[in-house]
Structure 1
C-alpha cells in the first residue's frame, strides 16, 4: 500500500522559476491524494479549471491539497479523492513583484520642428515598471494560450509602439525641441497613461515610466551647449573678463604663453585704472583733501611705488618702465 501511495503523491510547485518570468503554468497533470502545494515568497498560486478561477492562494508555505486547498476551491469543494483517481486542474504561479525594464529607441525619431524642415532626429532611453494586477484578464488573454510569460515579451510589446508615443507627447503643446529634458517628467507621464491602456486588457499595469535622457545629433548638441554657455555669460565684455580669469587661474601663463601673458597684463592694467579712478572719485568729493596731497607730493617729490596709470612697479624711476607715464 505504501508503494502505491508514493506513486500517487504529487508536489505542485513552480519548477522552472526565473526572476524574469511573469508567470508559469503547472498543467496537464492530476493532483492526487497526498499532493502538496508549495508557494515560495513573491509567488501567488491560482487554481483554475477550463479558464475559470477556482481559488487564489497568496501566503507562502507548504499546504496539503486535500485538506487545505480543495475545501476553498469555488466549484470543486465536493471533490473526493479516490484510491486511484485524482483531480485534473491547472495551477498558474504568478510572480508578484514589480518589474523594472530598460528601454531605448533603436533608431532616431524624426520630430517635426519649424527650425528643421526634415525634422529633428532624436533618440531617448529610460526605464518603465509594471506588475500583474488582474488575474482574470491575465488568464483570459494570455495564460489561456501560453504556458509561461517573460518580461522580454512585455518589453518587445512596449517598444513596438514607443516611437509613436514619444512623437505624440514630444510634439504635444509645442514643447521646446532644444530642451526636452526639462519636459521629460510631463512627457513620461503621458506615455505611461497610454501604455497602461495598451496592457491593461492583459491584466498588467504600467506603474512608472521614466525618461533618463534625450540624445540629439552631435552638431545640434554642440549648438545647444554653446548657446547655453553664451546665455550664462550674458555679454561679450563679461565673456572677455571670464576668459582672462580662466587663463590666469589655469596656470598656463608660465612658460611664455603670449595669449595668457597678454591677458594677465590687460587685467593688471584694468585693475590699476579702476583703482586710480576710485581714488580720483574719492578726492573729487573732498577738494581740501585733494589739494593737500598734491602740494605734499610736489614739495617732497616722492616717487610712488606703483605706476598710477598701469599698476606696474616703478623701482624708484621718474618714468614708468612699462607705459612711460611721468612719476615725478
Structure 2
C-alpha cells in the first residue's frame, strides 16, 4: 500500500519553479512531464519573472513575484475555466509559462531598404537608419499570443529578426508622422530617439505586449546628392558674413604672395573695385557733377588718381574699356571678360568697344 501511495505521490507536481541561467530567454513553458498539479502545490515566482497559466487553450491567472499556494482562492480564473464552483480536491493539468520581465538591452535594428519620406527642404528623400533599443515584456498574455506562442523555450536570437522588422516598420510610421526634417535627423540622433519613443511605444505595446524603454539612432544615411546639399548648407553657415570672408581671403592671398597670391586675391580685388566704383558713380550723380569730389584724406595719404579718374569719366556718356577699367579699379581683361559673358553691355564700333555710362551703372546695380 505504501508503495502505491509513493507512486501516486510521485506523479503529482508539488513545487513549480524555474531558475533562468541563460540571460536570453524571453518565455519558458515549464515541463510537467505529463504530470498533474497537486491541490495546494507551491508556485515560486522570482524577481523579474511572471507566470501565466493556460488551461483548455484559454489564458487563466497571472502571478507576479512571490511564493503562491495554488488553491481555489488565488486561481479564480482557472477555477472558472475548469468548473470548480465549490473548490477542488483532485489534481489538475495546466500549462505554466514563465516570462522574463527584465530589461533586454543593446538589441540592434536597421532598415534593410530605404525609407521614403517627404522633407520640407529636399523634397522626397530616401533614408537608411540603424541603432539599438532596449525593451521588456509588459503584457504577458498578449506577448504569448502574438509573439512567443506555445514555444517551449523562446529565446532572444529567435526573436531578433522578427522584432527587428517590426521595430523598423513602427519606426518608419513614427518618422513619417513626426515630420522631422532630414537636417534634424542627421544632427540630433539622441533627441530624435527620445522624441520617437512616445510614438513607437503605443504601437509596440498594443501589438506585441512590449515596451521600448530606450530607442537610439546610431546613424542615418541619405543619398549622395542630399549629403552634398547638406555639406553646402553647412559651408554657407561657416562662411557667415560675406564681407568678413572677402577680407579673410585677401589676407590669405597677401600672405601667400607671388602669382598664386595674386590669383587668389582677384575675387576680393574685384569685389572691392566694384564697391569703389559704385561710390564713384554715386558721387558723379550728385549736384555739381564732377566738381563733387570727396575731400582729400588727412596727412600724406590723399589719393591722386581718384580725382583724375572721376574727371575723366564725369563728362562722358560713352567710355572705352580702359576708362571703364579705371573707373572700376580692375584690369582691362576683367572688363573684356564681363563684356564677352554678357554681364556688361557694350557695343563694338569698327574694331573698338564702347560702353555707355548707363550700361556701366546697370552693371554696378547687379
- TM-score (normalizing by structure 1): 0.55
Distance 1:96 1:159, change over 3 A: closer
* CA distance in structure 2 between the partners assigned to 1:219 and 1:171 by the alignment: 21
* CA distance in structure 2 between the partners assigned to 1:125 and 1:48 by the alignment: 38
Distance 1:183 1:232, change over 3 A: same
- TM-score (normalizing by structure 2): 0.50
User: 1:24 maps to what in 2?
Assistant: 28
User: 1:38 maps to what in 2?
Assistant: 44
Distance 1:188 1:159, change over 3 A: farther
User: 1:94 maps to what in 2?
Assistant: 99
Shift of 1:94: 1.3
Instruction: Name the structure where helix makes up a greater proportion of residues.
Output: 2
The count of corresponding residues between Structure 1 and Structure 2 is 247
* CA distance in structure 2 between the partners assigned to 1:23 and 1:50 by the alignment: 19
Distance 1:179 1:92, change over 3 A: same
Distance 1:116 1:42, change over 3 A: closer
- Does structure 1 residue 160 correspond to structure 2 residue 169? no
User: 1:294 maps to what in 2?
Assistant: none
Consecutive unaligned residues of structure 2, counting only runs of 5 or more, are 266-297, 300-366
Distance 1:245 1:211, change over 3 A: farther
User: 2:70 maps to what in 1?
Assistant: 69
User: 2:10 maps to what in 1?
Assistant: 7
- Does structure 1 residue 56 correspond to structure 2 residue 62? yes
Distance 1:94 1:169, change over 3 A: closer
User: 1:276 maps to what in 2?
Assistant: none
User: 1:320 maps to what in 2?
Assistant: none
User: 1:104 maps to what in 2?
Assistant: 110
* CA distance in structure 2 between the partners assigned to 1:40 and 1:99 by the alignment: 17
* CA distance in structure 1 between the partners assigned to 2:173 and 2:47 by the alignment: 40
* CA distance in structure 2 between the partners assigned to 1:230 and 1:50 by the alignment: 69
Distance 1:170 1:80, change over 3 A: closer
Distance 1:173 1:9, change over 3 A: closer
Shift of 1:125: 1.8
Please tell me whether the aligned partners of residues 169 and 187 of structure 1 are also in contact (alpha carbons under 8 angstroms). Answer: no
* CA distance in structure 1 between the partners assigned to 2:171 and 2:157 by the alignment: 20
Q: Note the alpha carbon deviations across 1:232-257, whole angstroms, 9 max, x for none.
A: 2213553466679999xxxxx9xxx9
Please tell me whether the aligned partners of residues 192 and 206 of structure 1 are also in contact (alpha carbons under 8 angstroms). Answer: no
- Does structure 1 residue 197 correspond to structure 2 residue 203? yes
Q: Note the alpha carbon deviations across 1:114-160, whole angstroms, 9 max, x for none.
A: 9878x533211233343333334345545654334344555434443
Shift of 1:172: 5.0
Provide the aligned C-alpha RMSD in A.
Answer: 4.6
What SS does the corresponding residue of 2:112 show, helix, strand or coil? coil
* CA distance in structure 2 between the partners assigned to 1:141 and 1:170 by the alignment: 24
Please tell me whether the aligned partners of residues 8 and 33 of structure 1 are also in contact (alpha carbons under 8 angstroms). Answer: no
* CA distance in structure 1 between the partners assigned to 2:188 and 2:116 by the alignment: 18
Deviates more, 1:207-216 or 1:32-41: 32-41
Deviates more, 1:101-110 or 1:184-193: 184-193
Consecutive unaligned residues of structure 1, counting only runs of 5 or more, are 248-252, 267-286, 291-328
Shift of 1:30: 2.2
Distance 1:241 1:22, change over 3 A: farther
Q: Note the alpha carbon deviations across 1:157-188, whole angstroms, 9 max, x for none.
A: 44435555555554558653344346765687
